[in-house]
A = this chain, B = another copy of it.
Amino acid sequence: MTTTTITRWEDGSKEELSELRAGLDAQYAAWKAKGLRLDLSRGKPSPDVLDLSNALLDGLDTYLTEDGTDVRNYGVISGIPECKRLFSELLGIPADRMIVGGNSSLTHMYNTFVMLYLFGANGSAPWGAQEKIKILCPCPGYDRHFSVSEDFGAEMVVVPLLEDGPDMDIVEALAREDASVKGIWLVPLYANPTGSVVSGETARRLAAMPAAADDFRIFWDNAYGVHHVFEEHTLPDILSLCEEAGNPERAFYFFSTSKINFPGAGIGLVAAGPRTAAQMLSHIKMQTIGYDKIIQLKTVKFFGGRAEGIREHMRKIRALLRPKFELVLDVLEREFSGTGILEWTPPKGGYFVSVNTMDGCAKSVVALAKEAGVVLTGAGATYPLGKDPRDRNIRIAPTYPGIEELAQTMELFALCVKLASIDKLLAGK
């Protein structure tokens, strides 16, 4: 096999690229022959991370909360007090505006949309009664935010996601001018998939910007609030910023322990402005006589009732996750630095690495990988309706596979990016 070295691929001649391609084709054929079955699509914890929380499955010394409620029985709508206090300390959000319950923050998000669509926000008209509702979607973003919006028939408006959060000039203009713009999705800390962090200034602008809709809402999904990997960032306090700006009901704050202990049996929570929290509770009490309180008490016990207990646990998870992120970034650096065929920004934390291929190559990369036995997150998944306008973003999810499997998968991923890129470059020569 000859070795051709081209630094910046688009500068390569047709001959150089063709020669390069021949070598890559051979490698790809060899990969396919291995018949591997690998998966780089799953944003979920690996078994060794889950094992860190196995004590959560054990029994309890007492069935009683600190105020004497038997957690096995009915009752308690907004969460047991010690559990609310734990998350209040961890997140710096007021316990009295928090609803803790269920195993999924996504369910709280969906319920929030249900409330806004059926009943409206604090006396405003129900969103379901409006002719059109638009939701701003910083992209690349989280596909399940888009699915929720889509389920309710909202029009999703793509806004560029920058290093410090959504492009606020665009967000401010859209919110100011269009009363059908009712909200914005955000993963403020270590965004899915880019790992970017909303800055204090961006948060302040979001909280304070004038909006044509008096029921404009921020869906602040702090899914990775304690998932530091390379850096430790602090999240701006969006609820207080909204209050200070005279928009106390603007933000919904979501959090869960799904990626702290067990996705299958964690705890979800939502917090909101004072009137909104009361409105949510008025409907939630029609939906349930009480969430699972046993897992709440177990969770409090597991973390010693202290935010530091959660942070300590997350340092153990970080030790398991960081080598995986380093491996991914090392492969990207080694294979693509200076080539001009792949862009990425190393994430600061969270669960993903986001890459951009050359325009029009993402689908081909995913298809090539699939043919060779590697499942990647679908190209387009990081945009509303699965439509990436430039067909270039791919979300790499390194958390689930073991390190060996991840190394193999990344090799094949790199190969597929190269093949798709050469095709595109040759087509233009």
Contacts and interface: CB of A to CB of B under 8 A. Distances in A.
Nearest to A106: B288
Contacts of A263: 72-74, 289-290
A152 interface: yes
Interface in A287-332: 287-295
A73 B57 contact: no
Interface stretch (A44-52, A270-278, A405-413): A44-52
Interface in A35-54: 42, 44-45, 47, 50, 53-54
A83 to B, nearest CB: 13
Interface centre among A53, A102, A144, A258 (most CB of B within 10 A): A102
A283 B153 CA distance: 12
Contact of A118 (B53, B107, B147, B152): B152
A288 B70 contact: no
A28 interface: no
Contact of A291 (B53, B75, B103, B294): B103
B265 A72 contact: yes
A143 B293 CA distance: 23
B58 A73 contact: no
B292 A264 contact: yes
Given A103-B292, A114-B118, A128-B128, A147 B286 contact: yes
Interface in A182-210: none
A287 B47 CA distance: 25
B289 A292 contact: no
Nearest to A111: B287
A70 B42 CA distance: 14
Nearest to A53: B72
Contacts of A262: 72-73, 294
B264 A294 contact: yes
Interface in A113-134: 114, 117-118, 128
A73 B259 CA distance: 9
A151 interface: yes
A290 B292 CA distance: 15
Interface in A53-112: 53-54, 57-60, 63, 70-75, 102-104, 106-107, 110-111
A4 to B, nearest CB: 43
Nearest to A151: B286
9 contacts: A44-B73, A50-B70, A110-B288, A118-B128, A263-B289, A263-B290, A264-B290, A265-B293, A265-B294
Q: Which 4 A-B pairs have the closest CB atoms?
A: A110-B287, A74-B263, A265-B294, A72-B262
